[in-house]
Structure 1
Amino acid sequence: MKVPSSRNLKILCFLLVLYSACNTTMNITTLPYNNDLKKVQLDAISFQTVSLKSIPAPYYKDYSGHTEPAYKNYKNYDRFGFRDVFLEVVSKALKDTVLKIMVLTPKHFDSPYDAFAFLSNKQIAALHFNKDENFRKWMDIIFEKNYERLKKDKEEGLFQRQPELNPNPQFMLVLGQGEFSQKWVNSGMMVDERPYENTGAYLYKNAPQQYNKAKITREKQRYLKKYIDTSGAYQDPVVVTGHFNDFIKARKLVPNTPTNNKTTYKKFEQDTGFQFPKELKILLSGHNGVPTTGFLTADEILTEWQNWKTIYDDWMLADLKGNNLPDGQKTLGMYTNPYWIPFFSTSGGNFIALDYAPGSQGTSGQIIAFGADEQKIRFIAKDLSDFLAQLSKGDAILDTGF
């Protein structure tokens, strides 16, 4: 008999999980997300039990396709795979998408896991999860380091020296799209979570960003408003075309034949609210992609803009500004914004882009580098023709800032 591969077994397991979840739906009493929620105390909340028997047993992440031989047999539990399956199972049980869920370890040995699930309809469900074997194993794996640290603190006498600390705290796992974090609960430490005190107010404060999407959108737009300038830089078509041809000749490349991009330009303008950059139209009159280079087609430019716009919409302003630096005052220190138009890929999720939201000392239509590895939003060139002129002389301009 042929034994299924580990990959096929995993897929089969996921399908069984989803099938089981679809057949265990139930009616759940929920709390509406509004100002009255702030007044709700723990004893007024009704917890209801959801079965997690369909959660798969712990499994390792599949590195068999990794390009580095050293990684092919690497053993590491697939925590993010668990997160996605777990959210799907609970979403099916609650008949709504779970945007975020907080799972707390049991208060006592014979207690269930408490959880608070934030649903897409702005309702919050208070849940109990029993210690179903596979789910418990995942929790033990995820909180292993927390338990080890707690054990070490006890052995070193921390709680005798600081009696204000709780020697038996709980731990919290917070899961959501793009989120996987662990926190200490009722530990007595300065950095501490207390979901059982003023529970409604705690839930209100820790609701997912999607609950306040309109407010978050206004905040980001207010910040960007003074920088937005979609006029672009004047570009002489003859100069732009000349520099592009110099690049093609220097590299002995053959661009794909230009195509009619009117439909894509119209779609871009509908999605962005401003016209497709005229300087990029000049560039695209000379190619529809250039094999072995990072030049994007019109369709790819639109797709990448849409991908980065999704990130911009999902993140709060503080997150967008949290880890990226400006290049002097020429650029904005943001991870992304809708007024950067990527037209050249430097690989690995990094791009060269036209900047329609320059810093106070920058100009509309300047060329910048941004992306997954660009910790500084680098100023590259004053305009497209300047960028092409530099590119025709070598690739140094494309180096990422990582």
Structure 2
Amino acid sequence: MQQIWAQVERRLEELGCLEAMELRAGASEAEIRCLEKHLAVTLPDALRDFLARHDGQNGFGLMYGEQFLSVDGIRNQWDTWRSLDEADMNADSAEWMKSAPEGAVQPMYCNTRWIPLTHDAGGNHIGLDFDPGVSGTSGQVIVFGRDEDTKRLLAPSFTEFLSEWAAMLEKATWDGEALETPWPAARSGH
């Protein structure tokens, strides 16, 4: 994980936007354990290591234009989604929810086992899926959110997602205000 962070930081420095990303100091082991307890999941080691290096960002736009959430940000976004569980949004929207590819992600509006890792300030996330569809894998990285009727699989694991993201950063541009990174093909419906 340290190698990926070093690659990311090097590329952001080359682009002249490392400081603008406002990466936070790493989360403590205790903070990460507290998050896992709150979410009732064991986070992948790669994510634990990722958060230990940088606990999210204060800026915006690190991951495909979305803010990389801190431990507190993950908890807060996850808690916000729980209010929709109570409103039974899954029953109200079941007929138009889909998965891409079919069967990889549960075709639901929200799920307590989806853990947001980013947010776009509009209710959409890249996150971990610990309750996959019949052809998915636990811990896969997906796109879900308010505007995401089709839940999309981005990568079968957080480690693979990070490798793909770091490679995509090599194609990124910085215009002084926004980091532009091409979306993975799986996100093309966004």
1:281 is paired with a residue whose SS is: helix
Q: What whole-Å deviation, never above 9, does each CA across 1:310-336 have from its counterpart, x for those lacking one?
A: 212221542252332112111111111
Question: Which of 97, 122, 128 is the aligned partner of 1:324?
Answer: 97
Q: Which amino acid aligns with 1:274?
A: V
Q: What whole-Å deviation, never above 9, does each CA across 1:291-323 have from its counterpart, x for those lacking one?
A: 332211001011111111221222154225233
Q: Which residue of 1 aligns with 2:70?
A: 297
Q: Percent identity?
A: 27
Q: Give the structure-1-normalised TM-score.
A: 0.37
**Structure 2 stretches lacking a partner, 5+ long:** 169-180
8 Å CA contact 1:356–1:364 kept in 2: the answer is yes
Which residues in structure 2 correspond to 1:301-320 (within 5 Å)? 301-315=74-88, 317-320=90-93
2:50 is paired with a residue whose SS is: helix
Which residues in structure 2 correspond to 1:94-133 (within 5 Å)? none
Distance 2:30 2:160 in 1: 26
Q: What whole-Å deviation, never above 9, does each CA across 1:35-64 have from its counterpart, x for those lacking one?
A: xxxxxxxxxxxxxxxxxxxxxxxxxxxxxx
8 Å CA contact 1:265–1:276 kept in 2: the answer is no
8 Å CA contact 1:325–1:376 kept in 2: the answer is yes
Question: Which of 24, 40, 45 is the aligned partner of 1:273?
Answer: 40
Q: Which residue of 2 aligns with 1:46?
A: none
> What's the RMSD between the two structures over aligned residues?
2.3
Q: Which amino acid aligns with 2:25?
A: T
2:8 is paired with a residue whose SS is: helix
User: How far apart are 1:350 and its partner, in Å?
Assistant: 0.8
8 Å CA contact 1:320–1:336 kept in 2: the answer is no
User: How far apart are 1:348 and its partner, in Å?
Assistant: 1.6
Distance 1:311 1:277 in 2: 26
Q: Which residue of 2 aligns with 1:262?
A: 30
Q: Which residue of 1 aligns with 2:174?
A: none
* Count of residue pairs brought into register by the alignment: 162
Which residues in structure 2 correspond to 1:155-174 (within 5 Å)? none
User: How far apart are 1:263 and its partner, in Å?
Assistant: 4.2
Distance 1:391 1:263 in 2: 25
2:147 counterpart of 1:386 = no
Indicate the structure (1 or 2) with the bigger Cα radius of gyration: 1
8 Å CA contact 1:264–1:302 kept in 2: the answer is no
User: How far apart are 1:267 and its partner, in Å?
Assistant: 5.3
Distance 1:393 1:275 in 2: 27
Distance 1:363 1:285, change over 3 A: same
Distance 1:338 1:278, change over 3 A: farther
Q: Which residue of 2 aligns with 1:242?
A: 3
8 Å CA contact 2:27–2:53 kept in 1: the answer is no
Distance 1:366 1:330 in 2: 9
1:393 is paired with a residue whose SS is: helix
8 Å CA contact 1:332–1:358 kept in 2: the answer is yes
2:25 counterpart of 1:251 = no
2:154 is paired with a residue whose SS is: strand
Distance 1:392 1:263, change over 3 A: closer
Which residues in structure 2 correspond to 1:3-402 (within 5 Å)? 240-252=1-13, 253-254=18-19, 255-260=23-28, 262-263=30-31, 265-266=33-34, 268-269=36-37, 271-290=38-57, 291-292=59-60, 293=62, 294-315=67-88, 317-327=90-100, 328-394=102-168, 395=181, 396-397=183-184, 399=187, 401-402=189-190
1:377 is paired with a residue whose SS is: strand
Distance 2:86 2:79 in 1: 10
Distance 2:80 2:103 in 1: 26
2:116 is paired with a residue whose SS is: strand
Distance 1:331 1:348 in 2: 21
1:285 is paired with a residue whose SS is: helix
Moved over 6 A (4+): none
8 Å CA contact 2:105–2:132 kept in 1: the answer is yes
Distance 1:256 1:357, change over 3 A: same
Q: Which residue of 1 aligns with 2:173?
A: none
**Structure 1 stretches lacking a partner, 5+ long:** 1-239
Distance 1:356 1:344 in 2: 16
